[in-house]
Structure 1
Amino acid sequence: MALDTDTEPNSLGLPKPPEETRVVVAMSGGVDSSVVAAMLAEEGYDVVGVTLQLYDHGAALAKKGACCAGIDIHDARRVAEERGFPHYVLDYENIFRDAVIEEFADSYLAGATPVPCIRCNERVKFKDLLETARDLEADCMATGHYIQRKMGPNGPELHRAADPARDQSYFLFSTTREQLEYLRFPLGHLPSKAETRKLAAQYGLPVADKPDSQDICFVPDGNYAGVIEKLRPGAAEPGEIVHADGRVLGTHEGVIHYTIGQRRGLGIGGLSEPLYVVKLDVESRRVIVGPKEMLATRIVPVREINWLGDAPFTSQAEWQLSVKVRSTRPPREAILRPLSETTAEVELLTPEEGVSPGQACVFYETDGSRVLGGGWIWRG
């Protein structure tokens, strides 16, 4: 679709009237993406809803709290029917398994703590689905993520959501500049989730009161180990629980049942000091435990970096910024030292506990809301 540059920009920043602007909306079946689709349809945009079937939804029909289960496909279809725009369900099961689930299993078995939602955004939603949106001749793709896209002097920038409690920037750090040109996030400026639900009620959406999804979509009830055992039979091999000083304290039923920083459920009661998992030695099948102070980390190696700053990443020896090493933690001041275009060392000015390989390290402006990119923590 050709753009008329003389026309005043519409609400999505495109220089054409809404009725001539096709928008593909990624619909998960939840309240957020449903509101985005309804809002844009109400404004007169040519909306096309797309829902991805990411895994066997027949097995998921009875499961609630997952973003792409069968019931969610049904809910997305209902919203599209009631609001009068086309809706398609795309079978991405094989792509999702290859790009997300297999790596999740391998990385968990290697003793890491993976974040599959980031890989799903990076490799499925913002890659294959985005290409599908282009094939449908859409001018842009909109999602229900809580993050803001703002125009800066050098093009579109990624910013944290207006509501810190809903901000999803940690899960979207790998969004590239090219993708950012095409993506839109209409909910990022809202002050709270209550506003989204109010809009859902206003549009009369059947999902207005639907609960938010809590789990990773393919991990029922947060039972990571159960999923890994199904994907990799025999993965839960027993081994020893060893104190950092070398004492053998007990046995375990598989390294996959433990994560860095874990304190509860270690099965080594009767000790005078509280102990935490400080390392997972996969090769020797050992779970290493120690006192809390052993969890404190100051230097964090990061790779696969996606840089969204204005100046080239390697143009400075050091960057003063803030970072998040877990989605649930606030940004902390740090020094970022590039080692190459895609690798770096992060020095935390205040040591953090429970920094784990497999998690993301996301970069932010110290005195602002801008997301400067991020990378993957890769060794303990």
Structure 2
Amino acid sequence: MTRSRPRIDTAQRRARLGRRQLLAPAHRAARSEEVADAVVALHASDPATVHLAACARLAAPDPAAVERALYDDGSLVRLLCMRRTLFAVGAALTPVVVSSTARAIAAKERAGTLKWLTEGAPGWDERRLADVEARTLAALRAHGEATAAELAAEVPDLRETVVNSPGKPYQATVAVSSRILRTLAAEGRIRRGRPRGGWTSSSFRWRPGTAFAELPAPPAPEARAALARRWLAAYGPATVEDLTWWTGWTLTATRQALAAVGAVEVDLDDGAPGVALPDDLEPVAAPAPWAALLPGLDPTAMGWKARDWYLDPARVPQLFDRSGNIGPTVWWCGRIIGGWAQRADGEIVWRLADSGGEAAAAVAAEAARLTDWIGDVRVTPRFRTPLERELSR
């Protein structure tokens, strides 16, 4: 007799989400590092997202504690990694992420930067790029911390420009400093320092970093297996395609990593075959009903490629921008039921598709909690969506 695959239904997936993603109040964390570990990595393309995503999951929200972890303690590390996206990763997991994804991304960044320079800026080659980088790193070590403009004042080559897409409507003149510093950061040789403004600011100074070549890290196959295990523990059960999309790996690499951790095939409610860790097949207790207001690009909202089990496809045009970036979302017991925004006067406003009494009351309480800790800070998502724009007026 053929043994049927274990089945994990949508209710169980939502129960896991509320508990493991630290969204149900009883499961909130004490420290931002615990939050990053629980969701594997915090999206960091928008500087506000790291703080909003962490504080949504903290029992006592504290943006200053998140800043300390990022800029003083080094317990959260920004890396260009999965899907060529900037994430904040716990220090202990950093070697795994470096070996499994970030090194390959950095190699592509270097090749792309060299091609861009040699084709668009006369007089540039690999030797000149290496020389400019060496002088830039020396200047940064001498200062300890510096902006791109301050580095360019000491290394004039950084002031040179390249015209991107010449003759096109979107033609733009770009300083070579932007690509060179991005490449050095992608390799770990420099890192972002504390923003020059508040925690929502994108203006920052650079600091010396630790090059990936100097960082002890496991072999790539071993690292991919470790990252797959961590992701399944946080986001499983899920599909192979979900993990492939989330990491940016090839399908072959994903399947090899799943095989290495002994992932088990399971049936999901939508009919698609899923995978789960072998010790994660038993039912888990659903947490008490919960609501959450999560920021744009939150790791939970962006955790899976297939989202129908927690997001009605009809809401996608209002909640996503044209590039596939999700905006601020309102959650109720493991599914997205609306979106929210902050107005210029600081008021937090929201719109719910499901406005049942219990859900509406819980969302209002979460909005009050957000208002209380965010204080006089004003947040505008970097990637704005139709509903967020409409609500913020």
With structure 2 as the length reference, what TM-score do the two structures score?
A: 0.25
Greater relative contact order, per chain length (Cα 8 Å cut-off, separation 6+): 2
More helix by share: 2
With structure 1 as the length reference, what TM-score do the two structures score?
A: 0.26
